[in-house]
Structure 1
Amino acid sequence: MKGAIMEQSIELFANKGFKETSIQDIMDVLNVTKGTFYYYYKSKEEVLMDIQYQYINRLLDSQEKIIHDEETSYQEKLHEIIFKLLNDIEKEGLRAKVFFREMRHLTNEHLNQIMEKRDQFKENIQLVVEEGIKKGEFRSDLPPNIVTFGILGMANWSYFWFKPEGPIPDVEVAKIFYKMLLEGIEKKE
């Protein structure tokens, strides 16, 4: 039942918004009492926190595997991380939407916990960029922290517009982002 509560909450939070969704809305869809909800969760925010934790922990686990693969170049690692972000948006759909959009409804204490994990994800990307610079795979004249924010900005906002059922699949969008990142959009003569 805990899983059902979470899945239904994800759907409602994504479609109606966290603030506009009541515990009663969740229970009505599941056709159970509020007592059932409170057996598993203390509050609606606790459900949101579970959604946040599961999403970011899964991303961090995937990212760590990519980073620690010693057989891959830093260029390949960066491409894989960008693809992973887009692929998760395709795979996770509504969960990704809730993760990115509804985080603002967490209390400061909970928000700080999630931000620590998001910061770790950002720092891991910056580490890949810095190591790629050291190995001569990336340009050294651009600040790694700004490059990192650019990567995250491109990939994270795609939850808003990327349509997995659309004409361009996630793997192609990741290639386009990666090519823009490495080569820019300036026309070469």
Structure 2
Amino acid sequence: MKRKLMETGIQLFDQNGFKSTSVQDIVQSLGVTKGTFYYYFSSKEELLKDIHLTYIEELVKKQEVILNNSYSDCIKKLYEIVFMLISSIKTERPSARIFSREMRHLSEKYIEEIKEKRTLFRKNTQRLIEDGIHQGRFKSGLRADILTMGILGITNWSFYWFNPTGEVPEEKVVEIYVDMILNGIVKNDSVFNKI
């Protein structure tokens, strides 16, 4: 039942927003009582916190599997992280939108725990970029922190526009992103000398 409450909360928060969704809306959608809701969650805010934590913890877990694969190099791992984020749009789009849009409704005690997990995901990605620079697989002199934010920015924003059942398959989107990240979009690397 807890899982069903979370799934219904995700659906309604994504459609109507956290503030416009009441506990009554959630239980009415499931055909259960408020008592059932309050057995599992002390408040609507706690439900939102659990949705956030479940989403980011699952991403971190998948990311760590990729990063701990000793048979993959940094380029393959970067590709797999981008693929993991884009391919999850099929199943996790509402959770991702809630994660980016509704955090402002959480109190500080909940936000800290979520920020800690989000920071871990970012730091794991940054460490991968730093390893690639150190190993000579990526250009030296890059700002790994800024590059990491750029990579996460383009992948996370995809949850708003990418249609997994549309004309461009997810593999092609990942290929375009990773090619852009690794090779840029100009034919030579002296573009800044011409600006």
TM-score, structure 2 normalization: 0.93
Aligned to 2:93: 93
Gap runs ≥5 in structure 1: none
Aligned to 1:110: 110
Aligned to 2:42: 42
Q: Cα RMSD between the aligned structures?
A: 1.4
Post-superposition, which runs of at least 4 consecutive aligned residues in structure 1 deviate over 6 A? none
Aligned to 1:13: 13
Distance in 2 separating the partners of 1:113 and 1:89:
24
Aligned to 2:132: 132
Distance in 2 separating the partners of 1:58 and 1:67:
14
Amino acid at match of 1:55: Y
Asked if 1:180 is matched to 2:180, the reply is yes
Q: Is the CA contact (8 Å cut-off) linking 1:90 and 1:170 kept in structure 2?
A: no
Distance in 1 separating the partners of 2:180 and 2:104:
30
Q: Count residues in correspondence.
A: 189
Distance in 2 separating the partners of 1:104 and 1:90:
25
Distance in 1 separating the partners of 2:29 and 2:105:
22
After TM superposition, list the pairs within 5 Å mapping 1:38-77 onto structure 2: 38-77=38-77
Distance in 2 separating the partners of 1:180 and 1:80:
15
Aligned to 1:152: 152
After TM superposition, list the pairs within 5 Å mapping 1:23-42 onto structure 2: 23-42=23-42
Distance in 2 separating the partners of 1:159 and 1:131:
28
Listed one character per residue, the Cα deviations across residues 38-64 of structure 1 (whole Å, up to 9, x for unaligned) are 111100111111111111111111111
Report deviation, 1:163. Answer: 1.2
Secondary structure of residue in 2 paired with 1:93: helix
Distance in 2 separating the partners of 1:84 and 1:46:
27
Distance in 2 separating the partners of 1:169 and 1:91:
15
TM-score, structure 1 normalization: 0.95
Report deviation, 1:26. Answer: 0.6
Listed one character per residue, the Cα deviations across residues 128-175 of structure 1 (whole Å, up to 9, x for unaligned) are 001011111101121111110110111111111111111112221111
